[in-house]
Amino acid sequence: MLYVISKLNRMNKMNNSNRRTFVKNLGYGLGALTLAPSLAAFSACIPGAGERKLGIALVGLGGYSTGQLAPALQQTNNCYLAGIVTGTPSKAESWSEKYKIPKESIYNYENFDTIKDNKNIDIVYVVLPVSMHKDFTIRAAKAGKHVICEKPMALNAADCLDMIAACKKAGVMLSIGYRLHFEPHNQEVMRLGQQQEYGKILSIDSGNGFTWGRSSDSWRLKKALSGGGALMDMGIYAIQAARYTTGMEPLFVTARETKTNADLFKEVDDTITWELEFPGKIMAKGKSSYSSNISFLDVKAERGKFGLGPAYGYSGIAGYNASGPMDHPQINQQAGQMDDFVSCIMTGKKTRVPGEEGWKDMKVIDAIYRSIASGKKERIG
- Residues labelled catalytic: 151, 237
DSSP assignment letter at 104: G
Nearest to 295 by CA among 269, 324, 315: 315
Compute the half-sphere exposure of residue 23: CA atoms within 13 Å on the CB side of its CA: 19
Is residue 190 a contact partner of residue 31, using CB atoms and an 8 Å limit? no
Burial class (CB in 10 A: 0-12, 13-18, 19+), 111: exposed
At 149, phi and psi to the nearest 5?
Answer: -115, 130
Nearest to 222 by CA among 153, 290, 129: 129
User: How far apart (Å, rounded) are the C-alpha atoms in residues 381 and 378?
Assistant: 9
- Pairing state between β 271-278 and 252-258: antiparallel
User: How far apart (Å, rounded) are the C-alpha atoms in residues 145 and 349?
Assistant: 17
CA distances from 41 to 32, 233, 344, 352 (A): 8, 30, 11, 11
Q: For 235-249, what is the HEC assignment?
A: HHHHHHHHHHHHCCC
